[in-house]
Structure formats: C-alpha cells, structure tokens
Amino acid sequence: MAAKIAYADVEIGAELPACTFPVDRERLVRYAGASGDFNPIHWNERFAKEVGLPDVIAHGMFTMAEAIRVVTDWTGDPAAVVEYGVRFTRPVVVPDDDKGAAIEVTGKVAAKLDDEARTVRVDLTVMSAGQKVLGMSRAVVKLA
C-alpha cells in the first residue's frame, strides 16, 4: 500500500476533494460491456418504462464505482481501500439528451479506526438530481 495521505495528518471531519461524474447513455453501454451486466433497464428506454421506471437508469454498480473514485483519487493507490460498502437507495435516471445525468460525490473522514493499522473510515454522500442515490456509503481506508 502506498497511499500518499499520512494517517497522522488526517483529522476527523476532514473533507475529501468533491467530484462530479457525468453519466450518459453511451457511458452506460460501455459499462454494460465492461462489466457484463446487460440488463436492458440500463440501456433500453422502452423496456425500462415497461417495468415501471421513469427512464433508463444507471447500473447501481456503476454509481458505486464512481463514488469510490473520490477516495482512490485522494489516496493515490486504489489498494488503500480495504473495505467498501453501499446501499442502493434510489436509481440514477439517465435521460437520452446531450447532458445525461451527474453523480455528485462528497466524502469526509468520519472516524480514525486504528492507530496501528492506520485505518480511517470515510463516509461518502452520493447525490444525483438533488437526491441521495446511495445510502450507508462507507469505505475503510489504510493510510500511510
């Protein structure tokens, strides 16, 4: 592990640099191919509406993948993430227009867990269109 942030330098409540991640239909199709999840609710508007969704929605795992980037960008080494969990609370609706949707992620150090292991808990807030889309979004991170 080679995190560039030192445990000793981090205080509870410290905020990580926030990030906004765009998501449009093309990105969802790419993610479907890369992840192997071809559920049509993520690319077929007709199908999504037939099953009662407002429109095509992003893969929950796509949103989860974007959210942790706030942590991996902060630490430098993605391997600093030793635990990561989320609850999928609301779908990210992705309209078929020039803009698509945006996933807004903020994170802060919620606890210093273990002085010896140099682990902290980072709590993430993940929003889209003004609503929280992931709940209980937390990572345990090993710092330098």
Partner 1 sequence: MALDQSFVGRSYPPTTPYEVGREKIREFAEAIGDANPAYTDREAAEALGHPDVIAPPTFVFAITFRAARQVTEDPELGLDYSRVVHGDQKFAYTRPVRAGDRLTVSSTIESVRSMAGNDILDVRGEVHDESGEHVVTAHTKLVARGPEAEEAGA
Q: Which positions lie near partner 1, rule CB under 8 A?
A: 1-2, 21-22, 27, 30-31, 33-37, 52-54, 57, 59-66, 68-69, 72-73, 76-79, 81-88, 90-91, 136
Between 6 and 136, whose beta carbon lies closer to partner 1? 136
> How near is the Cβ of 9 to partner 1 at its closest, in Å?
19
CA distance 60 to 31: 11
User: Taking the C-alpha atoms of 108, 112, 113 and 118 in order, what is their torsion angle to the nearest 10 degrees?
Assistant: 100
Between 13 and 31, whose beta carbon lies closer to partner 1? 31
Rounded alpha-carbon distances, angstroms, from residue 49 to 4, 45, 98, 103: 45, 6, 20, 22
> How near is the Cβ of 6 to partner 1 at its closest, in Å?
16
Q: For residue 92, what are its two tokens?
A: 């990210």
CA distance 70 to 108: 10
Between 11 and 22, whose beta carbon lies closer to partner 1? 22
Between 129 and 136, whose beta carbon lies closer to partner 1? 136
Between 13 and 36, whose beta carbon lies closer to partner 1? 36
> How near is the Cβ of 44 to partner 1 at its closest, in Å?
15
CA distance 135 to 40: 24
> How near is the Cβ of 75 to partner 1 at its closest, in Å?
10
> How near is the Cβ of 133 to partner 1 at its closest, in Å?
9
Nearest alpha-carbon partner for 142 in 88, 89, 71, 87: 71
